[in-house]
């Protein structure tokens, strides 16, 4: 009896895993063919695969295009657009998103957002799904809007509720994908939470030391998470941490947060004198212990 149950379980596992493995191999083959086309095949005619008929094939092809699109830029984008137009991927994915609900709809939009979209498709996706009840769908509809439209500010400003850290990271990754110039100063100065947080995240991503003055303004005048994030980023840039306002703010933080800030300041390379001006004896003792270990490099 036990042997029978074990063999049934084992068989079910094989049936579950085998198609997944086959899908992974097929997806990798699509990636290989697409990257050959992107690299050299563009000059030699249109891209062809065997007929993409089933929904599974469509999703695998979309995943392969999205995978290559995230890792290739510049002259590699035009061949990808050719592949997308040849298989009508944009229209078919938007149709798929329309027919599905919940996480499957969000996944179709996520795939779209990772591709080099046309402006028309990005606007259509945002118009159809930007007000969906599901937060994940709304977020990926926003990413579609940002992916196809360089004027992304109104999309980000309109998103409700506030971005989580993971959502913000995805938006920043998308904006930096094409290495285009994004003006972070107006974003950091904005009174909209999402835009200000996006600006601070971009400053961190680009190591923009020129933004120190704007960050200090947020440190002095900002509130809540914005202020905390600005302090962390300012420290990462080894900016000026002097000032009564900052010292008073740190004093009123919870203990765990003070210790975390102190560790971050130590790792960023601030001296013990700077830390003594900001923290109490407990944090300073821990900072000295850290400075005396191999965990910190002293310039």
Partner 1 sequence: MQKIIIYSSSLCMRALLEGLLYDCGAEVCVATSRQNLFDRCAAERFDKVVVGETALFMEGCDTVERIRPCGAREPEILVFAPDITEECVMSLLERGVNQYVSLPVVPARLRRKVFGV
Q: What is the CA radius of gyration of the chain?
A: 25
Nearer residue to partner 1 within complex by CB, 31 or 52: 31
Q: Is 160 helix (H, G, I), strand (E, B) or coil?
A: coil
Nearer residue to partner 1 within complex by CB, 26 or 276: 26
180 makes contact with partner 1 (CB under 8 A)? no
Nearer residue to partner 1 within complex by CB, 34 or 287: 34
Q: Which of 61, 65, 68, 233 binds partner 1 (CB under 8 A)?
A: 68
Nearer residue to partner 1 within complex by CB, 24 or 183: 24
67 makes contact with partner 1 (CB under 8 A)? yes
177 makes contact with partner 1 (CB under 8 A)? yes
Helix (H) or strand (E) holding 83: helix 77-86
* Rounded least distance, CB 138 to partner 1, Å: 27
Q: Which residue has the tokens 């400053």?
A: 203
How far is CA 198 from each of CA 181, 256, 261, rounded to the nearest angstrom? 14, 26, 21
* Rounded least distance, CB 151 to partner 1, Å: 22
Q: What are phi and psi of 50, to 5 degrees?
A: -65, 160
Q: What are phi and psi of 162, to 5 degrees?
A: -65, 150
Binding pattern for the stretch 3-42 against partner 1, x by CB under 8 A and - elsewhere: ---------------------xx-xxx-xxxxxxxxxx--
Question: What is the total count of residues that contact partner 1 (CB under 8 A)?
Answer: 26
* Residues 6 or more apart whose Cβ sits within 8 Å of residue 208: 184, 202, 237
Half-sphere exposure of residue 82: CA atoms within 13 angstroms, side-chain side: 17
Residues that bind partner 1 (CB under 8 A): 24-25, 27-29, 31-40, 64, 67-68, 70-76, 177
């Amino acid at each position: 009896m036990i042997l029978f149950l074990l063999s049934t379980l084992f068989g079910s596992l094989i049936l579950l895993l085998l198609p997944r493995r086959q899908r992974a191999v097929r997806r990798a083959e699509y990636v290989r063919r697409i990257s050959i086309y992107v690299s050299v095949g563009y000059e030699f005619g249109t891209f062809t695969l065997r007929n993409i008929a089933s929904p599974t094939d469509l999703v695998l092809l979309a995943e392969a295009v999205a995978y290559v699109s995230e890792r290739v830029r510049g002259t590699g984008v035009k061949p990808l657009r050719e592949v997308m137009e040849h298989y009508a991927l944009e229209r078919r994915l938007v149709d798929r998103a329309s027919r599905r609900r919940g996480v499957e709809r969000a996944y179709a939009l996520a795939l779209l957002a990772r591709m080099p979209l046309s402006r028309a498709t990005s606007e259509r996706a945002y118009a159809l799904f930007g007000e969906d009840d599901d937060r994940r769908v709304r977020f990926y509809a926003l990413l579609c809007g940002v992916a196809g439209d360089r004027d992304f500010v109104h999309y980000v400003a309109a998103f409700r509720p506030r971005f989580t850290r993971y959502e913000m990271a995805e938006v920043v990754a998308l904006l930096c994908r094409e290495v285009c110039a994004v003006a972070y100063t107006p974003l950091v100065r904005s009174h909209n939470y999402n835009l200000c947080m996006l600006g601070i995240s971009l400053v961190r991503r680009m190591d923009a030391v020129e933004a120190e003055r704007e960050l200090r303004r947020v440190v002095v005048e900002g509130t809540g998470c914005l202020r905390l994030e600005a302090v962390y980023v300012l420290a990462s840039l080894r900016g000026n941490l002097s000032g009564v306002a900052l010292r008073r703010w740190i004093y009123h933080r919870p203990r765990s947060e003070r210790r975390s800030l102190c560790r971050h300041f130590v790792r960023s390379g601030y001296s013990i004198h700077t830390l003594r001006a900001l923290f109490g004896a407990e944090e300073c003792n821990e900072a000295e212990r850290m400075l005396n270990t191999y965990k910190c490099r002293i310039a």
